[in-house]
Structure 1
Amino acid sequence: MDYEDQLERAIEATPDSESVGERFTVPDVEVRQEGKMTVFENFRETTDVLNRRPEHVMKFFQDELGTSGHIDERGRARLKGEFRADRIAEALDGYVDSFVRCNECSSPDTRLVTEQGATVLKCDACGALSPTPDL
């Protein structure tokens, strides 16, 4: 078998990128209004997928949305004010970009660590250390 035949065989054996699901998907936000509060129903599930402390994510949301809030006994984020689902999703994307995905390889296999008094994003896939915004 020559090179061209081997290459063609390898291409045929490789699955299409559209058919292979990404292993890291952030859940769609589920929000509802409750009076003058916005309740992020699947907040706990989302923080579990992101592998981040709910308190850290909540602090980011408060800063990003310019509001106050808390995590209730059922693990839902309760934010003061009325926010549409797309605004919450936009803030969540900002969190993922700043505190979850590696800046070098885009892997979600990261963790927040403290290096010389500063919190940085350490990638378990490529080993990169990236600065994170202050919260």
Structure 2
Amino acid sequence: MDYEDSLDRALTETPEMSDAVDRFQVPDPEVRSEGNVTVYENFAGTHDRLNRTQEHLLKFFQSELGTSASIDDRGRARFTGDFKHSRVADALEEYVETFVTCSECGSPDTRLVEERGATVLKCDACGALSSVSEL
């Protein structure tokens, strides 16, 4: 097999880059009111899927929603106040855009790391480092 044949074979067998991004599905937040508290039922599954700590995600929601929050014994987030699904979903989308997806290649394969005293988003796919705001 010559070089051209090997190259053609490699190109046909290599998956498209968009497939890598499409495999990442952010869970839709399941929220419901419970008195004057909004309960985020699948919060544990969400922070697991995003590969972020529950503390970091909860702190972001507290800031975005302007309320206090806690994690109950079942791993659900409980926000003080009545918040509609759309508001929680918008906040989650903002979190993913800011703290999960790479600004260079769009990959969700990232992690938050400390670099010289600052938190940065490091992409495991392309190696890019992006600054992120502190919470």
TM-score using structure 1 length: 0.85
2:32 corresponds in structure 1 to 32
Instruction: Determine the structure 1 residue equivalent to 2:116.
Output: 116
Judged with a 3 Å threshold, the aligned counterparts in structure 2 of structure 1 residues 88 and 121 are, in CA distance, closer, same or farther, namely same
Q: Does structure 1 conserve the Cα–Cα contact (< 8 Å) formed by 2:105 and 2:126?
A: yes
Where does 1:37-116 land on structure 2 (aligned, <5 Å)?
A: 37-116=37-116
Deviation at 1:22, TM superposition (A): 1.7
SS in structure 1 at match of 2:59: helix
CA distance in structure 1 between the partners assigned to 2:26 and 2:71 by the alignment: 19
Aligned to 2:5: none
Give unpaired runs (5+ residues) of structure 2. Answer: 1-10
Alignment root-mean-square deviation, CA:
2.5
The 1-side partners of 2:20 and 2:110 are apart by 22
Runs of 4+ in 1 over 3 A off after TM superposition: none
Correspondence for 2:125: 125
Give percent identity, aligned residues only. Answer: 62
Q: TM-score, normalised by structure 2?
A: 0.85
* 2:6 corresponds to: none
Greater share of helix: 2
Do the aligned partners of 2:21 and 2:106 also contact (CA within 8 Å) in 1? no
Instruction: Note the alpha carbon deviations across 1:32-76, whole angstroms, 9 max, x for none.
Output: 000000000000000010000001000000000000010111110
Alpha carbons 2:32, 2:40 under 8 Å: kept: yes
- Alpha-carbon distance between aligned partners in 1 of 2:52 and 2:20, rounded to the nearest angstrom: 26
May I ask how many residue pairs the two structures share in their alignment?
A: 126
* C-alpha distance in structure 2 between counterparts of 1:126 and 1:21, whole Å: 13
By how many angstroms is 1:20 displaced? 9.7
Deviations 1:5-49 (A, max 9, x none): xxxxx99x999xxx9992100011100000000000000000010
Q: Is the CA contact 2:21–2:107 (under 8 Å) kept in the aligned structure 1?
A: no
